[in-house]
Amino acid sequence: MYTIKQVAQQTGLTAHTIRYYDREGLIPLLTRSENGIRQFSQDDIDWINLICCLKNSGMSIQTIKEFMQLCLDGEATGEERKALLMEHRKHILEQMDVLRDSLSIVDYKISHYQEIGIFHLHR
């Protein structure tokens, strides 16, 4: 079992964020000691890492909760989980296209300024 401090070090999250995820019900199988101290298993840490991945890629906390509930509901929800992740994947690819386009414009502007030897903003 791991402490919240150890989990924070492993995941790069703050203890505050981990507590928030717990309060929001995003770590459903988390246990507590007799004193009420959170005790994290490796499965909890793996789940927290998945939460981070989903959140960092734009999934809302509400959708993460829905996904988590589907996971808890078991094998019968496999197709629903897959569909949810496929939709999220589509969203990620759309974000990547937007970022690629933005990067192309930024690269063009940098190249332009390097060519003319000036690096300041247009007005």
* pTM exceeds 0.75, yes or no: yes
DSSP-assigned beta bridge partners for residue 2:
40
pLDDT at 118 over 70: no
pLDDT at 119 over 90: no
pLDDT at 121 over 90: no
Q: Name the architecture of domain 4-116.
A: Orthogonal Bundle (1.10)
Please state, in angstroms and rounded to a whole number, the distance separating the CA atoms of residues 96 and 78: 27
pLDDT at 115: 82
Taking only the tens place, the pLDDT of each residue in 24-58 is 989 988 999 999 899 999 999 999 999 999 999 99
CA 60 to chain centre: 9
Place of tokens 């933005």: 102
**Closest-CA residue to 59 (of 8, 28, 95):** 95
Taking only the tens place, the pLDDT of each residue in 16-26 is 999 999 999 89
Taking only the tens place, the pLDDT of each residue in 50-103 is 999 999 999 999 999 999 999 999 999 999 999 999 999 999 999 999 999 999
pLDDT at 116: 79
pLDDT at 117: 74
